[in-house]
Structure 1
């Protein structure tokens, strides 16, 4: 079912964006395209606006663009959808369309709730901005709980661990949670973090991280101001001595490398030497690698260059929220004292999952297949939901609906 108005707009060649621009709200601002899409696709009118006045203005706009009496008759009645063409870029995309690559990158940009949106939804603060204040703010699905525990156990008891996740999956949150856990429990653990900003796996894209960089970072963190010695061999001996002395006093050390997908294969191979630093049977250095999905590819057990490292490295993944989406949003809004069901219509959740997908076609003919990947990670969810909540203000909707989620994607949130 759709409103006859949608068919008439297509017949007259009028984009929904043009119709929206002709309709003013009481504050003089034009009605949003999202509001017009809800009217023409679902017969849902903004509750806070005068419907009779909107209907009159719509008819005036259509007459000015050449509409006749047949067009206007039963203009706002619902009818079966037909094959009438619609103008590209103005109609709501089909709900089974995956999100485009461009929109995917947009969803990774930070979207902040407006003051009007916070007031509209009775939010004392933005649930998605600077919200991590203590460990109670960390949402824990079974997957996230497992990754967090794996990180803590590696830090406390030793090992080599790779934490792998898409951009926005929550890798930084896991890293910050480890720091907070060490401090809160007064664990005798020192985190060693080499400077990785701008590091890449080849000289064309940036500066590759080298063994000397790791040795320097360890000396700075463990040596407490002790200057590094001259040659590589002298520094390596200095590092080993510092780690042994600290280990003998009961302290543990964890080398954390963020953006580890940018490590070169030779550097990954060298990590075995750091991992094998010992004092007797006592391992001196645990290693945690944190990186995007390219890290999984580089840690390929079939690659002879890195096989020895892979055999010693456990991998854990931060997977998409998907079935945990509602629980995630319930948690985020509960932390600011709001029931998430007061913010979201039930149609929003399936639409979020649907929109946060990417698709890739492989093969040809009978072997052709469409591979879908979920992008339903915290950062993308936060930005998409924030964009839809901001859209709700423009169309005077009391809750975030599936249509508003779709509208936020079309607007590039």
Structure 2
């Protein structure tokens, strides 16, 4: 950060006033002050001279003018700390975007954009759910497994929308009055190893099945009797016209032994009909456990379909943003311009040695947009631009 920030504060001048005097964007001035990034399209020496002239015109002394472009002290008791770190390696900056803390639309941001509900917050109805061809395929695959039969693993990065699809499936089945009993074992604090947390065992799944399918029955204490009870309860429920889908979230934390036992659970039948369909939902570590090279689970791998939730493509980013903003009654161009959309696509892309990895997942996009909207209002920009995104 430059001393210029504090000099302006001492003079009672706002950054937006300096930007107007220089005929540049507020974001460009903010980038200069907070990150020492001089606008590429302007001559640095000329801009420096014009800023010095502005400071002298507003009453700054020679010392303040001469030190305005020096690095500010790390701590100043009478100055507000910067909202974001001022020293980052470019690589760290790119990696950090996926890990932005939860961003919240500030009251002044809501007023400035006339938005009264965060368009990127948890969805309130199925109409809020963005669906592209990839998401539509996985959505329908989950539905077919629940209504008919199958063994499916839905895999995706944190914030990719896995839990949203699970909620959508349960909501869809309920709205249709479908004769499908959804069984969801309690997975709070579940870990694949007991010393890290509570491992999900097959006996716990059996308890969840009995509790859902035959809630008036008390689970047997003997393991063999409990599994017989589970099998009988599933048969009776099927004969009464119900199907059953077992949904396990955080499945990447399942022990290998439990994963193997799911194959045996899939073998429970009534005639030619499988009694339990299974949907596993987990992060990308689940793909490692379900690798063809993992001999321990080869029988599971041969029977399970793996569907990966991909990031939003850069080509569809404007479509995603337009959809979410439309849910709160705003047009895309009223909130972010074309350069801003492109800047988000670039920021949420991580370049490796041989490839480029996209981090354009709904959670990351939402965090980036909310942070950018807050910043735009703070520096006086009417919409989010590429300069604003660069400073987030």
TM-score, normalised via structure 1 length: 0.79
1:140 aligns with 2:131: yes
Is the 8 Å Cα contact of residues 163 and 291 (structure 1) preserved in structure 2? yes
Task: Answer whether contact 1:37 1:92 (CA < 8 A) is retained.
Answer: no
Change in Cα spacing, 1:235 to 1:92, as seen in structure 2 (3 Å) is closer
Residue in structure 1 matched with residue 29 of structure 2 by the alignment: 36
Gaps of 5+ in 1: 1-14, 45-50, 72-88, 361-368, 409-413
Alignment of 1:166 with 2:151, yes or no, is: no
Which residue matches 1:229? Answer: 220
Corresponding residue of 1:270:
261
Q: Deviations over 1:248-295 (max 9, x none)?
A: 111111111100001121111111011111111111000000000000
Identify if the C-alpha distance between structure 1 residues 301 and 220 changes in structure 2 by more than 3 Å, giving closer, same or farther. same
**Paired residues of 2:156 and 2:309 also in contact (CA < 8 A):** yes
Give secondary structure in 1 for the equivalent of 2:296: coil
Q: How does 1:62-77 map to 2 (within 5 A)?
A: 63-65=62-64, 67=66
3-state SS of paired residue (2:120): coil
Q: Partners in 2 of 1:29 and 1:148 — Cα distance?
A: 54
Give the Cα–Cα distance (whole angstroms) in 2 for the partners of residues 61 and 205 of structure 1.
60
Distance 1:29 1:322, change over 3 A: farther
Give the counterpart of 1:195 among 175, 179, 186: 186
> Is residue 220–residue 229 contact of structure 2 (8 Å, CA) maintained in 1?
yes
1:78-93 paired onto structure 2 within 5 Å:
90=86
The separation in 2 between residues aligned to 1:310 and 1:58, in whole angstroms, is 73
Indicate conservation of the 8 Å contact 1:23/1:57, yes or no: no
CA RMSD of aligned residues (A): 2.9
Structure-1 residue corresponding to 2:55? 56
> Does the 8 A contact of 1:388 with 1:404 survive in 2?
yes
Instruction: Quote the Cα distance in structure 1 between the aligned partners of 2:108 and 2:98.
Output: 26
Q: Structure 1 CA distance, aligned partners of 2:290 and 2:87?
A: 44
Q: Distance in 1 between matches of 2:338 and 2:96?
A: 27
Could you tell me whether the CA contact under 8 Å between 2:183 and 2:208 is conserved in 1? yes
Write the distance in 2 (CA, Å) between the matches of 1:231 and 1:186. 35
For residues 347 and 358 of structure 1, the distance between their equivalents in structure 2, rounded to whole angstroms, comes to 19
Task: Note the 1:234-245 alignment, pairs <5 A.
Answer: 234-245=225-236
Unaligned runs of 5+ in 2: 17-25, 33-37, 43-49, 70-84
Aligned to 2:120: 128
Three-state SS of the structure 2 residue aligned to 1:201 is coil
Paired residues, what number?
Answer: 354
Q: 2-side partners of 1:113 and 1:159: how far apart?
A: 41
- Aligned equivalent of 2:288: 297
Q: Which residue of 2 aligns with 1:113?
A: 105
* Equivalent residue number for residue 153 of structure 1: 144
Aligned to 1:10: none
Work out the CA distance in 2 between the residues paired with 1:58 and 1:91: 31
CA distance in 2, matches of 1:29, 1:166: 45
Q: Deviations over 1:74-128 (max 9, x none)?
A: xxxxxxxxxxxxxxx758977xx574434432x2x32110111111112132212
Give 1:59 shift: 8.1
Q: Is 1:21 aligned to residue 6 of structure 2? A: yes
Alpha-carbon shift at residue 152 of structure 1 (Å): 0.5
CA deviation after TM superposition for structure 1 residue 311, in Å: 0.8
- CA-CA distance at 1:199 after TM superposition: 0.9
Q: CA deviation at 1:31?
A: 4.3
Superposition deviation, residue 25 in structure 1: 10
The yes-or-no answer on 1:104 pairing with 2:98 is yes
Residue 212 to residue 140, structure 1, CA distance change in 2 (3 Å) = same
Q: 1:380–1:348: structure 2 CA closer, same or farther, 3 Å change rule?
A: same
CA change 1:263–1:359 in 2 (3 A) is farther
Q: What displacement does 1:156 show?
A: 0.6
TM-score under structure 2 normalisation?
Answer: 0.83
Alpha-carbon offset, residue 371 of structure 1? 3.8
Query: Where does residue 279 of structure 2 map in the other structure?
Result: 288
Q: Distance in 2 between matches of 1:57 and 1:216?
A: 77
- 1: distance between equivalents of 2:13 and 2:367? 24
